[in-house]
Chain A
Amino acid sequence: MSASEQELFQRLSDAVVEMDEDESVAVANEVVERGIDAYRAIEQGLSAGMERAGQLFDEEEYFIPELLMCSDAMYAGMDVLKPHLRSDDVAEKRKVVIGVVEGDTHDIGKNLVKIMLETSGFAVTDLGRDIPPARFVETAKEIGADIIALSTLMTTTMEGMGAVVRQLSEEGIRDRFKVIVGGGPISQGFADRIGADGYAVNAADAIRLARALVAPAEAAA
C-alpha cells in the first residue's frame, strides 16, 4: 500500500472522529478520483474512525451528540464510496431487526445502537419506535434476521420485550433468533427473567454483545 493511500484512510478516519462531514466527503471523493479501493477506504478509513469514536464514547470523552455527529460524517463519506464498491466486496452480512417496543417513542438509544451496529458490519432493519411485539417477530422471519434488538426507556413498556420472546417460543422458532435488550430501566436481571439472550448497557456494549452472539460456535463449544 502506498503511503498516500494510507494517508487518505487516516484522513477519513480523522474526519469521522473530528465530526467533519465536509472533510469526509472531500477525502472520499479523492479516493474515488484516484481509483483507490472503496471497500478498503470504508474499512480502514470510515469504519476505523467510527470505532475510535465509539472508544471515546466508552471513555466518556464523547457523549451522544458527538457520537451522532461522527456518524453523520461517516455516512456522508459512505454515500460517496458505496456506489464504487465492487459486487464481490459486498459480503453476506449478519442481520439485525431493531426497534423501540410498543408504548414508547424514545429512540435516541436505539438510534445509537443502530448506527454502531451498521458501522460494525451488521445489516440493520430499523422498525422505528412504538412497535408491537408481533411486528418484530414478523420482520425477523421475513428477512431471516440473526438478532432481534429491543429498546425501551420506560418501565411501563418493558413487558413488551417479554412478549416478543414469548411469541417466538409459542411459534416454536425461539432458537432461530438471538434476542437482545437494552434501555434505561433494563438490567441483566430483567433480560434473564424474560429469557432474552443478552443485555447491553450502552451502544458500545451492544456491539460486543451482538458480535459475541453471532460468532461461530467455537466459543460455545
Chain B
Amino acid sequence: MSLSPKERLLDTLAKKKVDRPPVICTGGMMNAAVVDVMTRTGHTLPEGHFRSNLMAELATDVNHDTGFENFGIPFCMTVEAEVLGSEIDFGTLACEPKIAREPFASNAQVQFRTIDRMLESGRIRQVAEAALLLSRSNPDVPVIGSITGPVSTAASIVDPMTFLKELHKKREDSHRVLDYVSEFLISFARLLVDGGASAICIGDPTATGEILGPRLFQEYAVTYLNKVIDGIHATGVPVLVHICGEMKAVKPSIPKLHSDAISTDAFVNLKLLKEEYPQLTTMGNLSTFLLELGDPDKVSRHTAGLVRDGIDIISPACGLSTASAVGNIQAMTQTVKDGGRGW
C-alpha cells in the first residue's frame, strides 16, 4: 500500500513511520516556478502573483514538471509586506518580487492597520483562493502555504538598518511591531488553512544567527516564530520553519522552536543536527547552487546522500534560482522517489 504525497508529508510531520521521505519545495522563499517550467506552459510570472487561477495553474505546472510532491504558494515573500504598507517591485519572469521601499523609518512610526481590512486587500484573497482551487483539484497533493516570518516581515516595512538597531535600543517599540506583524501573519495563515492548505511553511531570512546573534535571535526570532507557529497549530495544521544561513551561533535555540520540521541552508550538516537533537524533524538541504549549476548525475548523487543520512524531508536548501534546469530538479525528485537507490 503506498501513501499519497499528502499522507506521506503529514505522517512525516507527525513523526510516523513512512516508506520514504517526501520531496517538496514549499513556495514563498522556496519558489520552484523556474523559467523552464514557465516557458513550457506559458503560465508566467509576474502575472501569476496576482491572479488566483493563474497562481494555481502555475503551481500545478511546477508540481507536474519538477516532481515535487506538493503545491507551494505564493511564489514570493511580498504578499504580507504589501498589505502592511510596503511598496513592492513585482519583478519579472526570472526575477522574484522584492520590497522597493519600506514605508516606515522606525518601529515607532509604524501605523497599525486593522487585520480584517488587511485580509481584504492586496493579494491575500488571491493566494487563499489559489489554495482552495489546488486543494479541490488534487486532494492527494498537499498544498503548502508559505508565509514570510515575523522578523523578515517587520524588516520589510521598517527601514531594515533602523529595525536591527532598535532591537537593542528600543525594545518596546520592536516588540510592539513584531507582535502586530505576528498577529497578522497568523490571520493570513489561517485564511490559507481555510482554503485547504495542509501545512504552513515559514521562511524568515532576516531571523538568522548570522544577522541577529544568539541573544536577539532568542529574544525576538524564537518568541515571535513560536507565537505564529502556536497560532497556526491552533487550526490543526503542521508548521515547517526554514532558518537561513550559518546556524552555529543559534543552534541551542533551534529545539526551542515549536515547529514540526526545521529546514536549513546547504552548509548545515542536518545529519549531525539530528544526532544532537533527535527530536527534530529535519528538512533540506540540497544545495541550490548544485541545482542551478550542476548536472543531473551530481544532483542525484547528493540527493541520495541526504536520503541515506536519514533527512526526514528532502528539499532544496534555500531560495531556488529561477534559472535552475528542470532536468536537475527532476533528477532530485526522482532519486528520492527511487528511495535514493542507484548511488
Interface residues of A, Cβ cutoff 8 Å to B: 19, 60, 62-66, 68-69, 72, 103-108, 111, 130, 154-157, 184-185, 187
Q: From residue 111 to 165 of chain B, which have CB atoms closer than 8 A to chain A?
A: 160-161, 164-165
B264 an interface residue at 8 Å Cβ cutoff? no
Q: Which of B17-25, B211-219, B251-259 contacts A (4 or more CB under 8 A)?
A: B211-219
Could you tell me if B322 and A156 are in contact, using CB atoms closer than 8 angstroms? yes
**B164:A68 contact, CB within 8 angstroms:** yes
Point out the residues of chain A lying under 8 angstroms from B161, CB to CB: 68, 108, 111
Q: Can you pick out 16 interface pairs between chain A and chain B where the beta carbons lie within 8 Å of each other?
A: A63-B210, A63-B249, A64-B164, A64-B211, A65-B167, A66-B168, A68-B164, A103-B91, A105-B99, A108-B160, A130-B100, A155-B288, A155-B292, A155-B319, A155-B323, A185-B289
B319 touching A154 by the CB < 8 A rule? yes
B213 near A157: Cβ-Cβ < 8 Å? no
State A36–B101 Cα separation when bound (angstroms). 43
Give min CB distance, B323 to chain A, whole Å.
7
A156-B321, A156-B323 in contact; A65/B249 too (CB < 8 A)? no
Contact of B212 among A64, A156, A185 (CB under 8 A): A64
Residue from A65, A155, A157 in contact with B165 in the complex, judged by beta carbons closer than 8 Å: A65
Given contacts A68-B164, A105-B89, A108-B164, contact A63 B95 (CB under 8 A): no
A108 to B206, CA, bound (A): 10
Q: Which 4 pairs, one residue from A and one from B, show the smallest C-beta to C-beta distance?
A: A63-B213, A155-B321, A65-B164, A103-B95
Is the beta-carbon distance between A69 and B165 smaller than 8 angstroms?
yes
Determine how close the nearest CB of chain B comes to the CB of A59; give it in whole angstroms.
11
Chain A residues in 8 Å Cβ range of B213 = 60, 62-66
User: Is B169 interfacial (CB-CB < 8 Å)?
Assistant: yes
Chain B residue contacts of A63, Cβ below 8 A:
209-213, 216, 249
A69 and B211 contact, CB distance less than 8 A: no
Shortest beta-carbon distance from B214 to chain A in Å:
8
* Alpha-carbon gap, A29 to B160, bound state (A): 30
Q: Which of B275-301 contact A (CB under 8 A)?
A: 288-289, 292
Report the Cα distance A183→B277, complex, angstroms. 30
Task: State in angstroms the CA–CA spacing of A150 and B185 once bound together.
Answer: 34
Q: Is B289 a contact of A105 with CB atoms below 8 Å? A: no
B212 touches A60 (CB 8 A): no
Whether the Cβ atoms of B98 and A105 lie closer than 8 Å is yes
How many Å lie between the Cα of A108 and that of B205 in the bound state?
12
Complex: chain B residue closest to A153, CB-CB = B205
A60 with B249: CB separation less than 8 A: yes
Across the interface, name the chain B residue whose C-beta is closest to A104.
B98
B95's partner among A60, A65, A157 (CB-CB below 8 A) is A157
Q: Is B110 an interface residue (CB 8 A)?
A: no
A63-B210, A108-B211 are known; give 16 further A-B pairs, CB within 8 A.
A65-B168, A65-B213, A69-B169, A103-B95, A105-B99, A107-B160, A154-B96, A154-B319, A155-B321, A155-B323, A156-B94, A156-B95, A156-B96, A156-B321, A156-B322, A157-B95
Which residue from chain B places its CB closest to the CB of A60 in the assembled complex?
Answer: B249
Nearest-CB distance from A5 to chain B (Å)?
31
Q: Smallest CB-CB separation from B102: which chain A residue?
A: A105
Most interface-central of A68, A130, A156 (chain B CB within 10 A):
A156
Residue of B nearest to A68 (CB): B165
| A74 → chain B closest CB, angstroms | 13
A62 and B99 CA atoms in complex are apart in Å by 27
Chain A residues, CB < 8 A from B96: 154, 156
**In whole angstroms, what is the CA distance A171 to B189 when docked?**
51
CB contact list, B160-195 vs A, under 8 A: 160-161, 164-165, 167-169
CB distance from B7 to the nearest CB of A (A): 33
Chain A residues with CB below 8 A from B292, complex form: 155
Q: Is the pair B212, A69 in contact by a Cβ cutoff of 8 Å? A: no
Instruction: Given A155-B292, A156-B323, check contact A72 B164 (CB 8 Å).
Output: no
Chain B residue contacts of A155, Cβ below 8 A = 288-289, 292, 319, 321, 323
Cβ contacts under 8 Å, B99 to chain A: 105
A163 to chain B minimum Cβ distance, whole angstroms, is: 14
In the bound complex, residues from chain A placing their C-beta under 8 Å from that of B216 are 63, 65
Chain A residues with Cβ below 8 Å from B288 are 155
Q: Which residues of B contact A154 (CB under 8 A)?
A: 95-96, 98, 319
User: Roughly how many angstroms separate A104 CA and B249 CA in the complex, as a whole number?
Assistant: 27
Contact of A105 among B100, B165, B245, B321 (CB under 8 A): B100
A105 closest partner in B (C-beta): B98
A112's nearest neighbour on chain B, judged by CB, is: B161
Give CA–CA (A63, B100) in the complex, Å. Answer: 25
B19 to chain A, nearest CB (A): 33
What chain B residues lie within 8 Å of A108 (beta carbons)?
160-161, 164, 211
